[in-house]
Structure 1
Amino acid sequence: MTDQFQKILLAVTMLIIPFAGRASDHGDPLQADTVPQRKNIIDRLLDYFAESNKPDYSKGLDVSFIGGPHYASDTKLGIGLVAAGNYLADRSDTSAIPSNVSLYSDISTAGFALLGLRGTHIFPSDRRRIDYNIFFYSFPTEFWGLDFGSQRNDDGKSSYRLLSYRASATFMWRLGDNLFAGPALEFHHYDARKAQRPELWLGQDMVTNTVGAGFRLQYDSRDSHTGPATGWLFVLDQKFCPRFLSNSYAFSFTALRLARYTPLWRGGVLAAQVAGRFAYGNVCWSMMSNLDEGGGMRSYYEGRYRDKCALNVVAELRQHVWRRSGVTFWAGAGVVTPAVESVRWSRVLPCVGLGYRWEFKKRCNVRLDYGIGRGSSSFSFNINEAF
């Protein structure tokens, strides 16, 4: 319990005394009675964050920086830096949902390194949208095997180093009110090195390349992409990964998300999501469906539970508390299975958790989450809501 308290205290301290990408100015000393006294670096940082959540699109991109130490169960103690920006494709339409972009990076004492760029570009009048995400990471992690029995056995895991880079993009046209559709592409490269127990991979290639092509159908009536308080989100992704695209393994998958955001009372929002991913064909270890599809569960070591099919449901209460601070409480359950008809109650994995939110930019939160699952717990730091 003391260790967990120290982790939470460290993360909260990071938010109270953030590091920001601004330096102080230096000049010749002047008499205090001739010019206003210069603000020190702490005052400048406080002013910077006081203004960071006030939208200003007059110069195009409204960007802010935040960074500092954090702790996560898998990456351990680290330092992250995020540049988050919002902008309007048509600056004259101030009522439009803004586009968003984030440049994010991280290094940790566990040897974790991450660099990525993600965002959503919304064209004028919301006629078209582009979703994109590009990132690289290197990470000493663990692998529990490819069947549920092995994954539940904590003593049978294998340590290894994972190098990965991924890119995905979806271009969508508006078909009607809040309805969008369009082509989607993605690329995944995984390289598992220095595996302690390579037999857990069951003879599969330790290095895999996957190119997927398909389409997305999306209904989106949310009032915000980064911090929704009302509306619906439905996403259907269908991807095909055939051999002729130079894939290591040939397979396809269908991914679904359905989320609802309901205002309850002043400052209170109930967010609920059902998410699933169903792969079929010769699926490699790196492209299996994960327990935390949709990002809602947050209570298990990432990648521990994986199989061809995964399904989960999560409900989360988000409550504004004071000024730019808020808290969240969530509960849910998920399952991984080789086929939908193989779902058993014994495979269901529950989750509960709580989190702290600080509004970094308007409707863009820095979040600290602590989740508890069956024989597992997870502490994480991220930006924007989990779903």
Structure 2
Amino acid sequence: MKLLLISWGLFFLSFGVFAQVADTIEVIKKPLIEQAFDFGDKVIDLISGEKWAVIPALVYSPETSLGLGARALRIFRDQENPNLRPSTLPITFLYTLNNQQIFTTELEWWADDNKFYTNARLELSNFPFKYFGIGNNPISGEGESYTTQYAYFHINYERMLFKGVYLGPRYEFRTDRISKRIENGILETDRPLGFDGQLISGLGLALNHDTRDNIFQPEKGWFNRIAWMQFSPAFGSRFEFSQLTLDLRKYIATRPQQVLALQSWWSFTQGDAPFQHISLIGGSERMRGFFEGRFRDKHAMVQQAEYRFRVHRNLGMVAFAHTGQVAPNWSDFSRNQLRFGAGLGFRYRLTPDGLNIRLDIAVGDQRAFYFGLNEVI
């Protein structure tokens, strides 16, 4: 992981800055491994400003292939109120080898002694992707390519009802324009809702139970979330459906600097939802090792476990395993239909709050690598 950070320094920093850092390391008489860690820390300090950290954005997943770009990150801290959780504002632009252009920004803002929480996210993308069909046994094993240009936005505002419990409204909007699809392919012959594009707009409620001791690297506590959304023509949506999502997480400190993270995630969809927005599994957040959207249907469930431990200084590792499935009806969930995956990962801590770079190696129905920021669970 240190070698990866060193390579970033060589590529993105000027030769003058590199020479300065190299001279510093040469003077300090330490073991080689400690010199490497010192150099990695120096690189992080150089790209981090007092208010904004600007870092090269390097991502990899089966859905995007290699993605290159830039990420600016602002972490807001109230020095006069150390109990107030840090607020974050990342801004990212990526271009991937799959010819995808992706712009995202997401505000997480805590205020008034953690009594108020606001989350807003904006995504703009030109996104070549794959459609496999609907169900736990996809129509296409390899997937059919199509390209969608989409804009997505959500905002939710929550207020603390009592300690650790938050409730508030949520608005969600997404529009897709399918610019390319295979003539007489699966999308055109199967014609799922949304095959020619979509526009959804909906209102709902979010209820959170949050007792984590740290929002980036929790070692104990719960993070449970129940969100219900109603999409309707009354709000400007072309499709009418509702969706209920449950995300239940528990963090257990087993030993010093060792944490067991558990997650149970469920999604239930009722009504006429487009294929882009029905429940799905796979990708970098739910069931690594499975292509995102390879399995999609009205309902989905994922169970994940991750064991995290510190290796040395800012370097850590994780071991993870997961299982999940999709189904057209609640009663169709079955142990015989479960998909399984597992893997290992490396972490390097960027900030004192615990923000990490992560590299995961996963095996599911494929071998896959994932590179990005932050923890999955």
Report the counterpart of residue 145 of structure 1 in structure 2: 133
| Deviation of the 1:148 alpha carbon | 2.8
Contact 1:237–1:255 at 8 Å: present in 2 too? yes
SS at match of 1:285: coil
Q: Deviations over 1:291-332 (max 9, x none)?
A: 149924222111111111011110100111111111111011
Question: Which stretch of the first structure deviates more once superposed, 327-336 or 76-85?
Answer: 76-85
Report the counterpart of residue 380 of structure 1 in structure 2: 370
Quote the Cα distance in structure 2 between the aligned partners of 1:163 and 1:207: 9
Change (3 A) 1:280 1:142: same
1:262 maps to 2:248: no
Report the counterpart of residue 113 of structure 2 in structure 1: 125
Question: Which stretch of the first structure deviates more once superposed, 267-276 or 110-119?
Answer: 110-119
Contact 1:14–1:68 at 8 Å: present in 2 too? no
Match of 1:189 among 171, 175, 185: 175
Question: Structure 1 counterpart of 2:19, which letter?
Answer: N
Report the counterpart of residue 31 of structure 2 in structure 1: none
Report the counterpart of residue 66 of structure 1 in structure 2: 55
Change (3 A) 1:340 1:107: same
| Deviation of the 1:118 alpha carbon | 1.2
Q: How does 1:214-363 map to 2 (within 5 A)?
A: 214-292=204-282, 295-362=285-352, 363=354
Report the counterpart of residue 113 of structure 1 in structure 2: 101
Change (3 A) 1:263 1:166: same
Quote the Cα distance in structure 1 between the aligned partners of 2:10 and 2:167: 38
User: With structure 1 as the length reference, what TM-score do the two structures score?
Assistant: 0.84
Contact 1:275–1:294 at 8 Å: present in 2 too? no
Report the counterpart of residue 65 of structure 2 in structure 1: 76
Change (3 A) 1:189 1:14: farther
1:87 maps to 2:87: no
| Deviation of the 1:381 alpha carbon | 1.4
| Deviation of the 1:334 alpha carbon | 0.5
Quote the Cα distance in structure 1 between the aligned partners of 2:346 and 2:190: 37
Question: Structure 2 counterpart of 1:147, which letter?
Answer: G
Report the counterpart of residue 161 of structure 1 in structure 2: 147
Change (3 A) 1:105 1:53: closer
Quote the Cα distance in structure 1 between the aligned partners of 2:134 and 2:45: 49
Contact 2:21–2:42 at 8 Å: present in 1 too? no
Change (3 A) 1:47 1:305: closer
Question: Which stretch of the first structure deviates more once superposed, 219-228 or 76-85?
Answer: 76-85
Question: Structure 2 counterpart of 1:337, which letter?
Answer: A
Question: Structure 2 counterpart of 1:164, which letter?
Answer: Y
Quote the Cα distance in structure 2 between the aligned partners of 1:310 and 1:100: 30
Report the counterpart of residue 30 of structure 2 in structure 1: none
Contact 2:283–2:290 at 8 Å: present in 1 too? no
Contact 2:57–2:68 at 8 Å: present in 1 too? yes
Change (3 A) 1:256 1:123: same
Quote the Cα distance in structure 1 between the aligned partners of 2:46 and 2:314: 11
Contact 1:145–1:200 at 8 Å: present in 2 too? no
Question: Structure 2 counterpart of 1:184, which letter?
Answer: R
Contact 2:63–2:283 at 8 Å: present in 1 too? no
Quote the Cα distance in structure 2 between the aligned partners of 1:270 and 1:341: 31
Report the counterpart of residue 123 of structure 2 in structure 1: 135
SS at match of 2:285: coil
Change (3 A) 1:145 1:163: same
Report the counterpart of residue 366 of structure 1 in structure 2: 357
Quote the Cα distance in structure 2 between the aligned partners of 1:53 and 1:232: 33
| Deviation of the 1:146 alpha carbon | 1.8
Structure 1: runs of 5 or more not aligned: 1-10, 27-37
SS at match of 2:138: helix
Contact 2:247–2:266 at 8 Å: present in 1 too? yes
Question: Which stretch of the first structure deviates more once superposed, 186-195 or 67-76?
Answer: 67-76
Question: Structure 2 counterpart of 1:243, which letter?
Answer: P
Quote the Cα distance in structure 2 between the aligned partners of 1:12 and 1:201: 48
Structure 2: runs of 5 or more not aligned: 25-38
Question: Structure 2 counterpart of 1:365, which letter?
Answer: N
Quote the Cα distance in structure 2 between the aligned partners of 1:303 and 1:15: 32
Question: Which stretch of the first structure deviates more once superposed, 346-355 or 78-87?
Answer: 78-87
Contact 2:86–2:110 at 8 Å: present in 1 too? yes
Q: Deviations over 1:183-213 (max 9, x none)?
A: 1011111222321213354253421011120
| Deviation of the 1:131 alpha carbon | 1.2
Quote the Cα distance in structure 2 between the aligned partners of 1:356 and 1:204: 40
| Deviation of the 1:63 alpha carbon | 2.7
Quote the Cα distance in structure 2 between the aligned partners of 1:114 and 1:284: 22
Quote the Cα distance in structure 1 between the aligned partners of 2:209 and 2:73: 25
Question: Structure 1 counterpart of 2:64, which letter?
Answer: T
Change (3 A) 1:200 1:258: farther
User: With structure 2 as the length reference, what TM-score do the two structures score?
Assistant: 0.86
Change (3 A) 1:20 1:235: farther
Change (3 A) 1:310 1:52: farther
Quote the Cα distance in structure 1 between the aligned partners of 2:137 and 2:15: 60
Change (3 A) 1:47 1:323: closer
